Amino acid sequence: MKKIGFIGLGLMGKPMAKNLFKKGFQLIVYNRTPSKTEDFKKIGVPVASSPEELSKEVDVVITIVTDHEAVREVLMGPNGAFNGARPGTVFIDMSTILPRVSIELSEKAKEKGFHFLDAPVSGSTWAAEQGTLAIMVGGEKKIYEENLEVFKALGEKIIYMGPNGNGSYAKLINNIIGATFAAILGEGICFAEKVGLDVSALIEVLSSGAFKSPLIEFKGPKMMKADYSTQFSLNLMFKDLNYMVETAKEKNFPLFLGALTKEIYQAIKNKVNGDLDYAIIVEFFRSLIQ
């Protein structure tokens, strides 16, 4: 079994790291907020004092942090993992970041004799806990295949997308579709409320018909009940929408619906706590009919 260093113990990273431990991988963890490592200390998982220390004796370093600035910091900062790793170490970044930064990091890794895969995930915190995430992987196919056992401990559907950066491109597309779907779901629920429909019955219909989706099943009831306990925050979704808009501009791609979706999320973000779940997008439409 490979020895794995895991960096980033947030809502997604914490259950993912625990799944690796449960599956028998040797594990060492690091988090910029030390309090988030307490659960791992209790079960006997070593905690590194820095990414550099973590990377010294492992075969694989996994990162899942907030944004590309955080990824750069934990990998290439003064105490970054690139400073301590041995040649041949595999770096797997599972964060959602700009594709051009994924490509840049893969090139920096190669210069140092490392391997790099961009492997962002799709799924809720529940999927992270159950080990049923979808994982989209970009990078050298041979390295992807050699690390399938790691991915299978974390996800149910692992799909190779091609060279470095392609995993990140796929994730931005995934998230902009999800954000737009959530917005139209919220608008539909608000219309149902306006005309006096039983919203729970509507959600049951939507969850059973031609357009059924786990997003309807998970986010529909949250919108109906105004339950915005965080599975995936509004701030993170808005960050990803910004990344998609920026990347589309880089590629001279005319982004229409995605750009409009970003503006809708901006409008609600200006009014609410962005750390709440992005299901709160429904409140943008409720505010229009009050």
| pLDDT tens, position by position, 129-188 | 999 999 999 999 999 999 999 999 999 999 999 999 999 999 999 999 999 999 999 999
CA distance 152 to 102: 22
Q: Mean of the pLDDT values across residues 12-30?
A: 97
pLDDT at residue 237, rounded to an integer: 97
pLDDT grade for 289, boundaries at 50, 70 and 90: confident
Q: Domains of the chain: which residue ranges?
A: 3-162, 169-289
Q: Mean of the pLDDT values across residues 190-215?
A: 95
Q: Does 3-162 carry CATH code 3.20.20.210?
A: no
Q: Mean of the pLDDT values across residues 233-256?
A: 97
pLDDT at residue 8, rounded to an integer: 97
Question: In a 10 Å sphere around its CB, with 0-12 CB exposed, 13-18 middle and 19+ buried, how is residue 270 labelled?
Answer: exposed
* Catalytic residue (one of 3, 110, 157, 171): 171
pLDDT at residue 1, rounded to an integer: 82
- Which pLDDT tens digit goes with each residue over 65-94? 999 999 999 999 999 999 999 999 999 999
- Which pLDDT tens digit goes with each residue over 91-121? 999 999 999 999 999 999 999 999 999 999 9
Q: Mean of the pLDDT values across residues 274-287?
A: 97
pLDDT at residue 108, rounded to an integer: 98
Q: Mean of the pLDDT values across residues 244-260?
A: 97
CA distance 180 to 113: 40
Task: Please answer whether residues 203 and 216 qualify as being in contact, where contact means their C-beta atoms are separated by less than 8 angstroms.
Answer: yes
pLDDT at residue 124, rounded to an integer: 87
CATH architecture of the domain 169-289 equals: Orthogonal Bundle (1.10)
Q: pLDDT averaged over the chain?
A: 97
Judge whether 171 counts as a catalytic residue.
yes
| Whole-angstrom Cα Rg for the chain | 20
Percent helix / strand / coil, the chain, rounded to 5: 55, 15, 30
Q: What is the pTM of this model?
A: 0.94
pLDDT at residue 262, rounded to an integer: 97
Q: Mean of the pLDDT values across residues 36-49?
A: 96
Local structure of 25: helix, strand or coil? coil
